[in-house]
Structure 1
Amino acid sequence: MTTFTPPIPQALKPRGLLRRLGCTASLLVALLPLPGCGSLPTDVARPESHALAQPQGTPLGALADARRPASARAEQDGDSGFALIGSPNEAYSSRLALTERAARTLDIQYYAIHADASTRELLTAVRAAAARGVRVRILLDDFNSTGRNALVMAMAFLPNVEMRMFNPLPGGRGAGALRALGSLGDFKRIQHRMHNKLYIADNAWGITGGRNLGDSYFGTADGSNFVDMDVLAVGPVVRAMSLSFDNYWNNPLAYPVQSLITPDELRALYHSTAPARPAASATAGAQTAGAAGAETASAPSANGHHGPEAAASAPSDAVGPPLLPPAMDLDTLQLTWAPALLLVDKPSKLVPELNDEHTDDTVVDGMLALMQSARRDALIVSPYFVPGPEMMKVFAAMRARGVRVRVLTNSLASNDAPLAHVGYARYRKDLIRLGVELYEMRALQGAKLDRTVFGSGAGGSKASLHSKIFIIDGRVISIGSMNLDLRSKLQNTEVALVVRSVALSREATAKIDDTLDDSAWKMELTAEDQLRWRAPPDAPFEDARSEPDASLGLRMVLQLLGPLAPDEML
């Protein structure tokens, strides 16, 4: 793990191939060690580039200086400014604001960019920034870049835009499952994914947290939407975010899009994945070569990412734009100034032969060390929560010295990765016996979504917890991309922003407490040592003695597949 510490006072997975393919994939790995169906290019040119050295010379840099309070300027030159981004509307509007106000550079790093309507709108703004001379660098993990999501790669063929795919899979991009199956000969490498999330403008303002880019993260998906939290940062810690981006961008695992796919291949993929529509003219057909870029550019992959300059034109089958908010007003946004540091896994963590699985130098280990520093209480939000034996020892030690530990995670019904729930379920009773206060979020339905405690504005039919938050003693808060599970520790690279701020900790705690009081079950053990889901007082839902709101199929997954899947693969 690399700790990027700005000049502050001393005071201070896919969810993975197994989750995508289910246990069938693990059996295939064991029984049919298939050779890969392709190979990655060699002798790839990767010109080095770096973040803007002097952000103070940009309007966003000047705004950052202007927003710094006099007390911070005089006494705490290392402090950075922060704002919690809780609602889906804020998640979209904050990124749009950075995009529209960037003057020199935009650096965008994600695990997934979905090819959907909200991303089309956001990437339209990114294309406009490039058109006015902003240098755009997009770094995307390659696991989800199949089907229409792969069309986001058309951005790479626009002027002033560079795009690289991290730790790519060889082979075609037509179908994700087939592509993954074709890479089983290299199973260990492709299990390691870049899960980092950064959105940085002019090396002056940046966003990190749990969200990828897509409808389900911006509250506009028809089905399940994610309840999440990001943090917007301004000041010295943004330089640390940019340094992290540069380390990944210039790494040998980052392949320029042009080395992986051609405009003609993107054009063919666009036509093969486009919804049925009336026949288009030859001219319109030619323009759709990169039309996907407009649609995918607006539709990056969620959890992910056609041609040349034509990618800037909207596809003929594009749906109407979703109801999305305007850009956030950065001039009046309330900021909390505090010391902070950024924890980032090294890119080499994704190279199996260089990655020592017994290392204690990962972002998750940093979170465990932070937890062990607690004197009074620790509040943990982790959507995928698979502690494993070593983490259980940490919880036991914390409880032995009287630290209150509360954990909020998904219920089986709200979890978008049921296999992750399989691993978590093994530890529920032991956690409760230790005295850990364990809560499971309800799969909120319909209108109830606007009461989710991490912010209003989520649409769709169901909410799934996706936030990754640690709050220690009400004074230190961490928000990042990591889950408290062995996949985040051993398989993925992660990033976390740690801020020492009572004000931010209190604000986030209030939001989480609202969820615990209104929308979550507290787990208990009965006198017969059986699990009970206890509903909050006056809640519009009841206690339960089995996985509430979960279908028979989901419960069967838990019962039948639980013994087969190892913790580190979940």
Structure 2
Amino acid sequence: MQYYLFHNDTTGKLVAAALMAAAERGVRVRLLIDDIDTADKELRLVTLDAHPNIEVRLFNPFHTRSTHLLVKAWQALQDSVRLNRRMHNKVFIADNQIGITGGRNIGDEYFNAHHDLAFVDLDVVAAGAIVDALSQSFDQYWNSDAAVSASALPVTAENNRLLRATRFLQQFRSRTLDSTYGRALTAADPLPKLLAGKMPWHLARADLIVDPPDKVINPDNATSRLLVGQLAGLWVDPTQSALIVSPYFVPGAMGMAYFRYWRHQGVHIDVLTNAYAASDVPVVHAGYANYRIPLLEAGINLHELKPVSEPTGERLRDLGSGSSRASLHAKTFVFDDEHVFIGSFNFDPRSALLNTEMGLVIHSRELARQVTAIAQDAMRPERSYQPRLVAGNPENGTAKRLQWHDIHQGIVRISDVEPETSPIQRGLLRALQALPIEEHL
């Protein structure tokens, strides 16, 4: 397992229980986690690492072990070039036979188990030769100089702590799976049906594109070695249509150049990202907001997912019953209804230049159709705002401005300000837009 985040919540405990149970039956377990969010989880990680069949490593660790935000911030400033670069990869590989990768981390908000927030996310289950490529990528990260054993952490698990943790996780798993959520989780598991031949696999060619692990310690990597360069090397540029789904969308000068070129070639472009009210990172939304008018001027269609969408009973899950706020977290794009990317890569400078990322490019019209259908359902005006450009009037000095269009309870609505935001939030957004921090977003 290789993940950016591994929370100690219901989902995290269920996964930890499964890993412990696998280790108990003799399975070799390797867990690689980015160190961005482990300071308060050190004892738990060391306890897992104490099992003879489990090994835990931290990627690109902070040297000062403290949960205090100011201490971490000071260390980040002192070692900013390295610590500002994180391992954002997400992959789960079993027996080198089946791999899962995509946008999800291990945490309740990614699996519809959080009461206040639900990320709308997308993963892909893969089998066949591509899993070997995923395994090789994992091994490169596992053996890189940036990966440090959890045994180096300044905490020690008591002799009987592993036994107590094993017993606790087993009991927690039994209680949870016997709950309403647990039964729904079991019923939704696709693997038994896939392995029994009751659910069809999509047979298609796929390419793994992944940043090298030394991206975090070598800022001077050639672009051709990075994920964006590998994607360009696949020669899958769109000629007819492009669908971009990214929760954090900051195209930058290079992205805008691509978009304008594609539009000049007649390519139809749709972008689905978060509305301000749905975004969990307002500073990144500010980066996106600076590009909205140029994007619309270039002919790109923008769609911003609402924090609470109307239940329509179709593809995008209805979030009203379990969570108060939805936020897009899926990272996918579809070119020419044939090439589909599913992975961890956000369309922003951080994913392109700072963090390590990964994903599969799958060459399949059927899978492209399915992913497009999911996105189109999310882009419906009942579920997303559609920013549109209102022309200015040079005679009276008015500039171009934005309007947001949507449908609520069957009624068309038009807003002249960011929907579902307060004056304070909009003031904060304007202040954030003025900051020269785009390269870090």
Q: Using CA pairs under 8 Å that are at least 6 residues apart, name the structure with larger relative contact order, 1 or 2.
A: 1
Confirm whether residue 128 of structure 1 aligns to residue 29 of structure 2: no
> Does the C-alpha gap of structure 1 residues 222 and 538 become closer, same or farther in structure 2, counting only changes over 3 Å?
closer
Letter of the 2:205 partner, please give it.
P
In the alignment, what sits opposite 1:335?
A: 201
> Does the C-alpha gap of structure 1 residues 341 and 420 become closer, same or farther in structure 2, counting only changes over 3 Å?
same
Paired residue for 1:222, among 108, 111, 115?
115
Paired residue for 2:293, among 411, 419, 429?
429
> Does the C-alpha gap of structure 1 residues 513 and 228 become closer, same or farther in structure 2, counting only changes over 3 Å?
same
Q: How far apart, CA to CA, are the structure 1 residues paired with 2:402 and 2:308?
A: 21
Counterpart contact for 1:215–1:221, Cα < 8 Å:
yes
Letter of the 2:401 partner, please give it.
Q
Letter of the 1:551 partner, please give it.
S
Following superposition, the deviation at residue 316 of structure 1 comes to 13
Secondary structure of 2:404's aligned partner: strand
Following superposition, the deviation at residue 356 of structure 1 comes to 1.8
> Does the C-alpha gap of structure 1 residues 372 and 527 become closer, same or farther in structure 2, counting only changes over 3 Å?
farther
Residues 393-404 of structure 1: matches in 2 within 5 Å?
A: 393-404=257-268
Q: How far apart, CA to CA, are the structure 1 residues paired with 2:270 and 2:88?
A: 25
Following superposition, the deviation at residue 126 of structure 1 comes to 1.2
Q: How far apart, CA to CA, are the structure 1 residues paired with 2:314 and 2:66?
A: 36
Report the TM-score, using the length of structure 1 for normalisation: 0.69
Paired residue for 2:378, among 515, 519, 526?
515
Q: How far apart, CA to CA, are the structure 2 residues paired with 1:150 and 1:456?
A: 37
In the alignment, what sits opposite 1:416?
A: 280
Residues 174-193 of structure 1: matches in 2 within 5 Å?
A: 174-193=67-86
In the alignment, what sits opposite 1:439?
A: 303
Letter of the 2:93 partner, please give it.
I
> Does the C-alpha gap of structure 1 residues 385 and 367 become closer, same or farther in structure 2, counting only changes over 3 Å?
farther
Counterpart contact for 1:150–1:173, Cα < 8 Å:
no
Q: Once the two structures are superposed, what CA deviation does each residue of 1:282-315 show, in whole Å capped at 9, x if it has no partner? A: xxxx96xx4xxxxxxxxxxxxxxxxx44432328
In the alignment, what sits opposite 2:96?
A: 203
Secondary structure of 1:443's aligned partner: coil
Secondary structure of 1:313's aligned partner: helix
Following superposition, the deviation at residue 153 of structure 1 comes to 4.4
Q: Once the two structures are superposed, what CA deviation does each residue of 1:482-536 show, in whole Å capped at 9, x if it has no partner? A: 0010000111000010111000000111111111113111111112311011115
> Does the C-alpha gap of structure 1 residues 338 and 456 become closer, same or farther in structure 2, counting only changes over 3 Å?
farther
Counterpart contact for 2:302–2:386, Cα < 8 Å:
yes
Paired residue for 1:314, among 168, 186, 190?
168
> Does the C-alpha gap of structure 1 residues 397 and 536 become closer, same or farther in structure 2, counting only changes over 3 Å?
farther
In the alignment, what sits opposite 2:352?
A: 489
Confirm whether residue 405 of structure 1 aligns to residue 269 of structure 2: yes
In the alignment, what sits opposite 1:87?
A: none
> Does the C-alpha gap of structure 1 residues 358 and 250 become closer, same or farther in structure 2, counting only changes over 3 Å?
closer
Q: How far apart, CA to CA, are the structure 2 residues paired with 1:239 and 1:113?
A: 24
In the alignment, what sits opposite 2:395?
A: none
Q: Once the two structures are superposed, what CA deviation does each residue of 1:358-386 show, in whole Å capped at 9, x if it has no partner? A: 72432234456779721100001010001
In the alignment, what sits opposite 2:2?
A: 109
In the alignment, what sits opposite 2:361?
A: 498
Query: Which deviates further from its counterpart, 326-335 or 215-224?
Result: 326-335
Confirm whether residue 569 of structure 1 aligns to residue 440 of structure 2: yes
Residues 135-534 of structure 1: matches in 2 within 5 Å?
A: 135-148=28-41, 151-263=44-156, 290=161, 308-314=162-168, 321=176, 323-324=181-182, 325-326=185-186, 327-328=189-190, 329=192, 330=194, 331=196, 332-351=198-217, 354-356=218-220, 359-367=223-231, 373-444=237-308, 448=310, 453-455=315-317, 459-517=322-380, 518-528=382-392, 529-534=400-405
Letter of the 2:429 partner, please give it.
L
Counterpart contact for 1:478–1:498, Cα < 8 Å:
yes
Counterpart contact for 1:146–1:176, Cα < 8 Å:
no
Q: Percent identity?
A: 37
> Does the C-alpha gap of structure 1 residues 208 and 176 become closer, same or farther in structure 2, counting only changes over 3 Å?
farther
Q: Cα RMSD over matched residues?
A: 2.6
Q: Once the two structures are superposed, what CA deviation does each residue of 1:373-423 show, in whole Å capped at 9, x if it has no partner? A: 211000010100011111111101000111011100011110100110011
Secondary structure of 1:143's aligned partner: helix
Counterpart contact for 1:480–1:497, Cα < 8 Å:
yes
Q: How far apart, CA to CA, are the structure 1 residues paired with 2:235 and 2:243?
A: 9
Q: How far apart, CA to CA, are the structure 2 residues paired with 1:197 and 1:149?
A: 20
> Does the C-alpha gap of structure 1 residues 153 and 436 become closer, same or farther in structure 2, counting only changes over 3 Å?
farther
> Does the C-alpha gap of structure 1 residues 532 and 215 become closer, same or farther in structure 2, counting only changes over 3 Å?
same
Counterpart contact for 1:194–1:492, Cα < 8 Å:
yes
In the alignment, what sits opposite 1:305?
A: none
Counterpart contact for 1:432–1:438, Cα < 8 Å:
yes
> Does the C-alpha gap of structure 1 residues 370 and 484 become closer, same or farther in structure 2, counting only changes over 3 Å?
farther
Counterpart contact for 2:212–2:225, Cα < 8 Å:
no
Confirm whether residue 544 of structure 1 aligns to residue 415 of structure 2: yes
Counterpart contact for 2:57–2:147, Cα < 8 Å:
yes
Q: How far apart, CA to CA, are the structure 1 residues paired with 2:67 and 2:325?
A: 28
Counterpart contact for 2:45–2:150, Cα < 8 Å:
no
> Does the C-alpha gap of structure 1 residues 539 and 346 become closer, same or farther in structure 2, counting only changes over 3 Å?
farther
Q: How far apart, CA to CA, are the structure 1 residues paired with 2:171 and 2:228?
A: 43
Letter of the 1:213 partner, please give it.
I
Q: Once the two structures are superposed, what CA deviation does each residue of 1:4-27 show, in whole Å capped at 9, x if it has no partner? A: xxxxxxxxxxxxxxxxxxxxxxxx
Letter of the 2:210 partner, please give it.
V
In the alignment, what sits opposite 1:59?
A: none
Secondary structure of 1:542's aligned partner: strand
Counterpart contact for 2:269–2:300, Cα < 8 Å:
yes
Following superposition, the deviation at residue 344 of structure 1 comes to 0.6
Following superposition, the deviation at residue 173 of structure 1 comes to 3.7
Letter of the 1:160 partner, please give it.
N
> Does the C-alpha gap of structure 1 residues 214 and 124 become closer, same or farther in structure 2, counting only changes over 3 Å?
same
Counterpart contact for 1:408–1:439, Cα < 8 Å:
yes
Report the TM-score, using the length of structure 2 for normalisation: 0.89
Letter of the 2:389 partner, please give it.
L
Counterpart contact for 2:76–2:84, Cα < 8 Å:
no
Following superposition, the deviation at residue 247 of structure 1 comes to 0.4
Following superposition, the deviation at residue 560 of structure 1 comes to 1.2
Secondary structure of 1:564's aligned partner: coil
Q: Once the two structures are superposed, what CA deviation does each residue of 1:167-219 show, in whole Å capped at 9, x if it has no partner? A: 00112243355323334211121000000000000000010000000100010
Q: How far apart, CA to CA, are the structure 1 residues paired with 2:304 and 2:75?
A: 37
Q: How far apart, CA to CA, are the structure 2 residues paired with 1:514 and 1:219?
A: 19
Following superposition, the deviation at residue 118 of structure 1 comes to 1.9
Q: Once the two structures are superposed, what CA deviation does each residue of 1:468-491 show, in whole Å capped at 9, x if it has no partner? A: 011000011010000010000111
